[in-house]
Structure 1
Amino acid sequence: MSTPRVVPFLRYQDAPAAIEWLGKVFGFQPALTVPGPKGGIGHAQLRLGDAVIMLASVRSGEPYLRSALDLPAVSQGVFVVVEDLQSHYERASARGAEIVMEIETTPEGIRIYQAFDLEGQLWAFGDGFVVSE
């Protein structure tokens, strides 16, 4: 696998629970987990196919990085391409993801759905991605 050039990083109030939930519901596998100096998670990397995300526990010294639970709304999300969108959707739906957009086909012909995770981060999963030139 090549090194990704863009890797989303997220903060969670309960990062250990987020790692477990993201694995159980969305299928992410922990690749690296480093404990924080005061408990929680200092740094974690999770993989789903070729996708990589990073996450950590909320830190009091970083007021600019918050859990979605601390905010009135989120202004971004994470988009992940998956091999079998229908199966991924069914797994996420059956295991507790809050589906906020059912599977739809975009004007570019990509099928996607969107869901919130356990702390309100927005995730979109699709069966492809078109790069505009």
Structure 2
Amino acid sequence: MAFGEVIPYLYYEDADAALDWLERVLEFGPSTRWRLGGPSTKEADILVGDNRVSVTGRPPRIGQGAGALLIVHVDDIVAYRARVAEADGNTPLSAVQQQPYGPLTFTVVDPWGYRWNFWQGESYPPTD
């Protein structure tokens, strides 16, 4: 069995506001937005490096995405965290932490509750 890419599909009640925030604060993008004849975005894709995240302009139903954690690899986690903090001082950010399984990480919770976890380095299996 051969698998292709995995594309997260995120529900945001106001997709335009979410996409604008993702582009401004997390520096993702560009985004491609489909309004489908209406005044606001109904479907969209946004680039995260060479990867794509799909977005829909409707609120999640109960149980959709509540446990999601999105991991994004970055080259310089300290510099990236500083840029995110500067872009939006109201965004909850964790400190950069060295994880016992390898990478340096920090987490951003976007205004809609999605947890974006940024990593520098790779994880490695336990040795015990």
- When the two structures are superposed, what TM-score results if normalisation uses the length of structure 2? 0.79
CA distance in 2, matches of 1:95, 1:108: 30
Change over 3 Å in CA distance of 1:19–1:31 after alignment to 2: closer
Q: Is the 8 A contact 2:72 2:117 kept in 1?
A: yes
Q: Is the 8 A contact 2:34 2:44 kept in 1?
A: yes
The AA in structure 1 aligned to 2:80 is H
Change over 3 Å in CA distance of 1:57–1:65 after alignment to 2: farther
- In the TM superposition, what is the alpha-carbon distance from 1:48 to its structure 2 partner? 2.3
The AA in structure 2 aligned to 1:42 is K
Q: Is the 8 A contact 1:49 1:82 kept in 2?
A: no
Q: Is the 8 A contact 1:35 1:42 kept in 2?
A: yes
CA offset digits 1:3-40 (Å, max 9, x no partner): x6111111111110111110111010124211145443
Q: Look up the SS of the partner of 2:44 in the other structure.
A: strand
Of the two, which has the highest radius of gyration? Answer: 2
CA offset digits 1:92-113 (Å, max 9, x no partner): 11222211x2110111220010
5+ long unaligned stretches in structure 1? 69-73
Report what 2:10 is aligned to: 10
Change over 3 Å in CA distance of 1:40–1:65 after alignment to 2: farther
What stretches of structure 1 move > 6 A for 4+ residues in a row?
Answer: none
The structure that is strand-richer by fraction is 1
Q: Look up the SS of the partner of 1:55 in the other structure.
A: strand
CA distance in 2, matches of 1:65, 1:23: 26
In the alignment, which of 81, 89, 104 is matched to residue 89 of structure 1? 81
Q: What does 1:1-133 align with in structure 2 at a 5 Å threshold?
A: 5-58=5-58, 63=61, 74-96=66-88, 97-99=91-93, 101-130=94-123
Change over 3 Å in CA distance of 1:131–1:42 after alignment to 2: farther
Instruction: Number of aligned residue pairs: give it.
Output: 120
Change over 3 Å in CA distance of 1:122–1:105 after alignment to 2: same
- When the two structures are superposed, what TM-score results if normalisation uses the length of structure 1? 0.76
Change over 3 Å in CA distance of 1:103–1:34 after alignment to 2: same
